[in-house]
Amino acid sequence: MDHVLIEALEVDTVIGVYDWERTLRQRLRLDLELATDIRPAAERDDIQLTLDYAAISERIGAFAEAHQFALVETFAERLAETLRQEFAIAWLSLTVRKPGAVANAASVGVRITRGQA
């Protein structure tokens, strides 16, 4: 199985457990690894035969805009479900980082893996 990568994608969303966090948009940084077989797309040079990372990135931005969660864990889980369903992704690894959330740490976050490669 081959992997399509989307690295350091930044989106703004309302996320956090504290009241003050619920009043502003915060930046999240995402890394995705999406399993697919790229051979048909490469053979025909046809984007319709692979995972379109531009379309997936756009969908992630729309998801972040439309949803508000307390936990980064919930954001990651729901986003993974959405992407797997809408883009027929059999397996993915998703890392969601929240920069500046903890003093003295560049970022905090979660990494989840869903599906079977």
Report the alpha-carbon distance of residue 87 to residue 89 in Å, rounded: 6
> DSSP label at 12?
E
Report the alpha-carbon distance of residue 23 to residue 17 in Å, rounded: 11
DSSP for 23-38 reads GS-EEEEEEEEEEE--
Q: Is 13 a catalytic residue?
A: no
Among residues 84, 98, 105, 116, which one is catalytic? Answer: 98
Which of 8, 6, 48, 33 is closest to 90 using CA atoms? 33
User: Is the separation of the CB atoms in 4 and 53 below 8 Å?
Assistant: yes
Catalytic residues: 98
